Amino acid sequence: MKVDVLVAEIGSTTTVVNAFVGLDTEDPHFIGQGQWSTTVLEGDVNIGLANAIKDLEANLEVESLEYDELLATSSAAGGLKMTVHGLVYDMTVKAAKEAALGAGANLHMVTAGKLRRTDLAKIMEISPNIILVAGGVDYGERDTALYNAEAIAKLPLEVPVIYGGNVENQEEVRLIFREYGKEELLYLVDNVYPKIDTLNVEPTRKVIQDVFEEHITHAPGMSRVRELVSGPIIPTPGAVMEASKILKEDIGDLITIDVGGATTDIHSVTAGTDEINRILLDPEPEAKRTVEGDLGVYVNMENIVGMIGREKLGEKLALTVDKLEELMLEYKAIPKTKKELEFVEKLTCTAVKISADRHAGGFKTYFGGTTRTLAVGKDLTGVKWIVGTGGALTRLPARREILKKIALSNKGDKLLPTSEASIAIDNDYIMASLGVLSKVNKEAALILLKRSLEID
């Protein structure tokens, strides 16, 4: 059997392969899925990838599968590990952090000001995939970014470094890395914070994904991935962001919520409303991602249970605290019984409400000669769609009701979506795959995405 494109999602534990046909027609189709355990620990993800393709062949009931191109997203081998180093935390550091998160990075360290010896030791310990250095508006402060660039260039690490600070420093930074024999590891991009109250994160996001693709084969177990994958490889969270952005162009402002076993990610694509922007204290990117590392419905279920309270959760589930503890011990990632489904729905609902609350901005009152109320953070009040993806929000029976509770949880102090926002579910669970597919065929990716979301 011949298909146009396979897209592999190489996760930390599972590798999923999705097959697509008719991509150059007006009627592209998603035809099937295969999966296998990710084999990073065996030293070669191609083993799990090849087995996932065999599983797909079995599901399609074909002896062999041919394809024109194989694309991939990856969160295996720790995903995209980054450290970010800027000048002022609320300015250039924030801009650099937004660029990294929006590209799909896992941030392991963020610093402001000149790097200390302890900071440099921590960078060595983290051994990031990419380091991002920023600092200074264009033609403003220069010394901090130059100091940090040289301190990083001295480190005995062969790690790509992106410089996205004061444009006046670019040639100096290039000279520093040349002197240390690392010019080939340096990438110069436009300033992420070119002037006060202006963010410019998209150029850096694109370079981060390009650098990730170029260097992903250096990660443990990933060295032979290019033997099978012929097209783009981007971080899985970055792929969800790409899908969210092309969807926003077609249907309007939205947020995408991905509740997983370990984390909950939210991607918002909205410039906010004029009303809120007039009183917004600091700029926010149009496309923003936050990741809540304590809100997962399996690995971090203890955290969410603690947030709800064992007695309160037990009452909601009609269980004693002892029976609840037994349920938590028996539950193994995928709910099997009706009571486990109810349990995971309660965890997912809490993860959704808390993560949305953290992602959204709010109002802040300042007292002085006159009292002023200003807006701080991301404005989601103009969002027209709330999109659910990930294992929990694509499979749980109460998924739509859970997403509706975001607006209902607003006490009036947060910039959350209103109850007028429509709900859409990634029923085929292919949003990340379509994000990377959009890199080579944006039109087909959008058609398939709207079909999965059941949007006309």
Same domain, yes or no: 59 and 115: no
Question: What pLDDT is stored for residue 428 in this prediction?
Answer: 95
Count other Cβ atoms within 10 Å, centred on residue 300: 21
Same domain, yes or no: 108 and 143: yes
Instruction: From 425, 382, 139, 179, select the one nearest 284 (Cα to Cα).
Output: 382
Cβ atoms 240, 437 nearer than 8 A: no
Minimum mean pLDDT range among 11-15, 116-120, 245-249, 376-380: 11-15
**For residue 40, which phi and psi values (nearest 5 degrees)?**
-60, -45
Place of tokens 């399996």: 298
pLDDT band at 427 (very low <50, low <70, confident <90, very high): very high
Q: What is the mean pLDDT of residues 194-208?
A: 95
Same domain, yes or no: 59 and 163: no
- What are the structure tokens assigned to 230, written together? 């012929």
Q: Which residue has the higher pLDDT, 299 or 441?
A: 441
Cα(124)–Cα(156) distance, integer angstroms = 8
pLDDT at 217 over 80: no
Same domain, yes or no: 307 and 383: yes
What is the tens place of the pLDDT at every residue in 407-419? Answer: 998 888 999 999 9
Same domain, yes or no: 354 and 265: yes
Q: What is the mean pLDDT of residues 1-11?
A: 94
- Look up the domain containing 267 and give its range: 239-453
Same domain, yes or no: 105 and 175: yes
Q: What is the mean pLDDT of the chain?
A: 95
Same domain, yes or no: 301 and 412: yes
Same domain, yes or no: 255 and 383: yes
Place of tokens 């969160």: 75
Same domain, yes or no: 44 and 113: no
What secondary structure letter does DSSP report for 421? S
CATH at 96: 3.40.50.360
Total domains in the fold of the chain = 3
- Domain final position from 180, 207, 231: 231
* Contact residues for 232 (Cβ-Cβ < 8 A; gap 6+): 71, 72, 213, 436, 439, 440
Same domain, yes or no: 323 and 400: yes
CATH at 307: 3.30.420
pLDDT band at 220 (very low <50, low <70, confident <90, very high): confident
Q: What is the mean pLDDT of residues 274-298?
A: 94
- What are the structure tokens assigned to 4, written together? 């146009």
Question: What pLDDT is stored for residue 376 in this prediction?
Answer: 95
What is the tens place of the pLDDT at every residue in 243-263? Answer: 999 999 999 999 999 999 889
- Domain final position from 209, 231, 253: 231
Percent of the chain with pLDDT over 70: 100
Cα(235)–Cα(103) distance, integer angstroms = 7
Three-class SS of residue 354? helix
pLDDT at 421 over 80: yes
- Domain final position from 199, 231, 263: 231
